Amino acid sequence: MQSTRNKQRKRWLCAAILTMACLHSAAADEESVRELAEASQVMLNDLASQVIDLRAMADRKAFDTVTKTLEKQAGQWPVETDATEKYRPCKHALERALQLARLTHAKATATKAAPPPDEKEWLGEHAKLTDRRAVCERVLRHPLVRAS
């Protein structure tokens, strides 16, 4: 009888420890995702002018640097979880910036063999990036996000 109680107590203790570990990891995950969102916003602000600059994106080295930086930052985002849900616009803004950098590079280095992307498409992507950056900034300033 005593042995059964001890086993039961150990199981409850293990369950409590596991629950606390999950709660702590969820809290840490939320904080790390928030820090990632803030770092992504800073990066977007730093790279936004280069991403739409035809001269900068025509330079292969500059283009590679910008795209690798954006790919690395976007790749750091964890798989979708509750913690990443509210910061999703920040990840989307990074992906948009990467897409726009590629379009700008194609436009800047267009040859007869590869015509440049449609001007309207490029301008549309530029507008979307600007909108995404604004959404990302609003997400980070939201009182619920700031309180977490």
Beta strand residue intervals within 1-148, DSSP E: none
Whether the predicted pLDDT of 5 surpasses 60: no
141: confidence class by pLDDT, cuts 50, 70, 90? low
Whether the predicted pLDDT of 139 surpasses 70: no
Q: Which residue range forms the structural domain that includes residue 49?
A: 28-147
Q: Is residue 139 classed as helix, strand or coil in its secondary structure?
A: helix
Among all chains, which residue has been given the structure tokens 């267009």?
110
Per residue in 72-98, pLDDT tens?
888 888 777 776 777 888 888 888 888
In a domain, 109, yes or no: yes
In a domain, 52, yes or no: yes
Task: Please state, in angstroms and rounded to a whole number, the distance separating the CA atoms of residues 63 and 69.
Answer: 10
Q: Please report, as a single letter, which amino acid is at residue 136.
A: C
In a domain, 61, yes or no: yes
Looking at 28-42, 64-78, 87-101, 132-146, which range is the least confident one?
132-146
pLDDT reported for residue 45: 83
30-34, 49-53, 60-64, range with greatest mean pLDDT? 60-64
Average pLDDT over the chain reads 72
In a domain, 10, yes or no: no
Average pLDDT (122-144) is: 67
Q: What is the pTM of this model?
A: 0.58
- 102, 70 contact by CB (below 8 A): no
In a domain, 66, yes or no: yes
In a domain, 47, yes or no: yes
In a domain, 75, yes or no: yes
In a domain, 7, yes or no: no
Report the number of distinct structural domains present in the chain.
1
Q: Please report, as a single letter, which amino acid is at residue 69.
A: T
Find the largest Cα–Cα distance for the chain.
86
**Residues comprising the chain, all counted:** 148
